[in-house]
């Protein structure tokens, strides 16, 4: 089993009840629901970073991090392998 880190999240009670209800309706724990939501957001952020890096290509070449874009693209491609 992978090592996990426990930490505390603080939610407004109404928000927590919504999270609990939605996770239960999907047959998941609150922990699983939050992990999936955070993973999805991290994927979105990585994709946005990759898109931003590729839009820079052809502009100010001194400011372009092609190596970063390549590494990010490789990470996305290899993620599902």
Please give the model's pTM, rounded to 2 decimal places.
0.60
Would you say 19 and 30 are in contact if contact means Cβ atoms under 8 Å apart?
A: yes
Would you say 50 and 65 are in contact if contact means Cβ atoms under 8 Å apart?
A: no
pLDDT at 36: 94
- Tens of pLDDT along 31-58? 999 999 999 999 988 888 877 777 766 5
Angle at 57 between CA 55 and CA 60, to 5 degrees: 105
């Amino acid at each position: 089993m992978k090592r996990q880190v426990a930490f505390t999240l603080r939610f407004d009670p109404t928000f927590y009840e919504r999270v609990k209800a939605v996770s239960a309706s999907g047959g998941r724990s609150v922990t699983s629901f939050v992990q999936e939501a955070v993973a999805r957001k991290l994927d979105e952020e990585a994709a946005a970073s990759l898109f931003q890096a590729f839009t820079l290509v052809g502009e100010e070449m001194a400011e372009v991090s092609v190596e970063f874009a390549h590494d990010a693209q490789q990470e996305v491609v290899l993620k599902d392998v």
